[in-house]
Structure 1
């Protein structure tokens, strides 16, 4: 049965935290990709999602604000420093109406807007208060890359742990190869109820959160459950200037497949 948006009473707002001052890649949200700043690619894919009511960028930088306004996007200026993207999303939620909030990182370029649908749709139909996505690992290289976050879940689909390490480790496999149905990449997009956001941001930074530099571990360390749904859609995450050529290649390939041309 097709999903009917009119049956859902809770609203969904996508918040895209975007900082200019990245230590590894200053000005990253404004890097040009196929004639558009990266933040515009992220914004437009979120806006194309049929399960979303509103999209806005949260930034502390006038240059990012100007770029977003230039392509007609909504933007909120953040005047205080925040620990993580989650804390920035919570600050936006505190100043706006709405029921559920999606945290979509400003360097997470979705390859298809249905990736957000794969998160929002089951979340709204469930009793979960915080959710995220996983995708099957495609390569052994990703399994062992600390820049690629992995996730394991219980039988009900709730997160057991997120790590930069290859989890679970298959003890009897000397090759340490990725196993279909066992190893999953975590995609850095989250959805929360307003109440969960408020609770999460009131908590101190956790020991595991600090060790792995993964903000979602704050929730697990404090007994909060994170529902994880699987998607087949991917995303492009740009962490450093070295990631740009590969991202451009994939974006160009996607645009060619859709019949889009760029000058």
Structure 2
């Protein structure tokens, strides 16, 4: 059996939504809601919030959440996970973004199941896009991949496109990943964002640019990532409809 930890990177200094992890959503912070979804799938003893801020450290400790202080020099959330990987010795690190308050626990279970069958691959999730609004959104990464599931490219732009500019069929990233330790260490050694990663502001592209294969797994599409204030309203509507 492969060893693994589930990690949730979180930082206060978000440019699009300041203090994002602590944003209140119907009485619970964003990071607490994300954590509560994760522990429906996995033993809380295997779950760690990773942050560079003492405010989040204290917030998590008050709620009984395992939390680890990382440096303020991490370029991205994945660099934060890589820094944690250097401190620990797991085979795989399951990364759930800290802005996923509606993450389906079954998505995490699917990723973990595939880790057991994986030979050092990077794993990431995808789901079909239903709305043209999401296809056009610059906050939702779109994915294109080979028939066998290996990632070709990921972009904030509307891909795949056609000469008429029409929305036909597309897929979005679901922000749960599985990284083998070696891949994370190589990622961290870059010390800077790679060319395409920097343009798109999509961390998974650094792995592609380093020559790693990323296998995309079909997951449920009911998650709503919180990137901008408008996303909070979408989450609140969803939670209100589900009587949470």
| 1:128 Cα offset (Å) | 4.4
Question: How many pairs were matched up?
Answer: 243
> Does the Cα contact within 8 Å between 1:128 and 1:226 map onto a contact in 2?
no
1:14 is displaced (CA, Å) by: 1.1
Structure 1: distance between partners of 2:168 and 2:239: 26
Aligned partners of 1:175, 1:164: CA distance in 2, in Å? Answer: 15
Residue 245 of structure 1: aligned partner: 233
Structure 2: state its 5+ residue gaps: none
Bigger shift: residues 45-54 or 108-117: 45-54
Matched, 1:112 2:73: no
2:182 pairs with 1:195: yes
Within 5 Å, which residues of 2 pair with 1:18-167? 18-50=10-42, 54-167=46-159
Structure-2 separation of matches of 1:178 and 1:232:
20
Distance 2:118 2:130 in 1: 29
TM-score of the pair, normalised by structure 2: 0.93
Is contact 1:14-1:52 (8 Å) kept?
no
State the match for 1:224 in structure 2: 212
Q: TM-score, normalised by structure 1?
A: 0.87
Q: Which of 1 and 2 has greater Rg?
A: 1
Task: Please give the per-residue CA displacement for 1:19-61, whole angstroms capped at 9, x wherever unaligned.
Answer: 1121222111111112111101111111111488610111111
Task: For 1:163 and 1:21, locate their aligned partners in 2 and report how far apart those are by CA, in whole Å.
Answer: 23
Deviation per CA, 1:58-84, whole angstroms, max 9, x where unpaired? 111111111111111000112331111
Query: Contact conserved, 1:59 with 1:78, CA < 8 A, in 2?
Result: yes
SS of 2:224's equivalent in the other structure is strand
* Maintained 8 Å contact 1:129/1:192: yes
> Which shifted more, 48-57 or 208-217?
48-57
Is the contact between residue 11 and residue 53 of structure 1 (CA under 8 Å) also seen in structure 2?
Answer: no
**RMSD between aligned residues:** 1.7
Give distance in 2, aligned partners of 1:202 and 1:163: 24
CA shift digits 1:68-114 (9 cap, x unpaired): 11111000112331111111001111112321101211112234211
The alignment partner of 1:188 has SS state of strand
Q: Secondary structure at the match of 1:192?
A: strand
| Counterparts in 2 of 1:71 and 1:155: CA distance versus 1, 3 Å | same
Contact 1:143 1:178 in 2 (8 A): no
Taking a change above 3 Å as real, the CA distance of residues 224 and 155 of structure 1, as seen in their structure-2 partners, is same
